[in-house]
Amino acid sequence: MTAIPTPTPAHSTERFAQAPGDPYRYGVYLRPDPATCAAVTAVTSQLRAQYGIVSAGAFPPHATLAGSRHITAPVQEIVAAVTRALAGARAFTVHNAGVRRQGVGLVYDVHHLADGITPNPDFADLAALVDKAVAPLESAAPNPAANPFDEDTFRAHLSLVSHDMYVRPDLSEEVREYVDGLPVTFPQTFRGDRVSLYRTRSDDWTGRWWQTLTWEHVHTWRLPR
Q: List the chain domain ranges.
A: 22-222
Q: Residue 2: CB partners within 8 Å, gap ≥ 6? A: none
- Top-confidence range, 32-36, 135-139, 202-206: 32-36
Full-model pTM: 0.87
Considering only 7-21, 37-51, 71-85, 184-198, which range has the smallest mean pLDDT? 7-21
Q: Could you give the CA distance from residue 106 to residue 120 in angstroms, rounded to a whole number?
A: 20
- For 25, what's the count of Cα atoms within 13 Å in the CB-facing half-sphere? 26
What pLDDT does residue 146 have?
65
Q: Determine the average pLDDT of the residues in 156-176.
A: 96
Q: Residue 191: CB partners within 8 Å, gap ≥ 6? A: 33, 91, 92, 93, 94, 225
Answer for the pair 204, 212: CB distance below 8 angstroms, yes or no.
yes
Q: How far is CA 72 from CA 75, 86, 134, in A?
A: 9, 21, 11
Q: Could you give the CA distance from residue 67 to residue 130 in angstroms, rounded to a whole number?
A: 10
Enumerate the H helices of 24-171 as residue ranges: 34-51, 75-85, 121-134, 164-167
Closest CA to 44 of 57, 61, 60, 62: 57
Q: Could you give the CA distance from residue 99 to residue 106 in angstroms, rounded to a whole number?
A: 7
Q: Which fold has domain 22-222?
A: Cyclic Phosphodiesterase; Chain: A, (3.90.1140)
Q: Determine the average pLDDT of the residues in 8-29.
A: 59
Q: Per-residue pLDDT for 147 more than 80?
A: no
pLDDT tier at 106, thresholds 50, 70, 90: very high
Closest CA to 71 of 63, 62, 84, 80: 80
CB atoms within 10 A of CB 57: 22
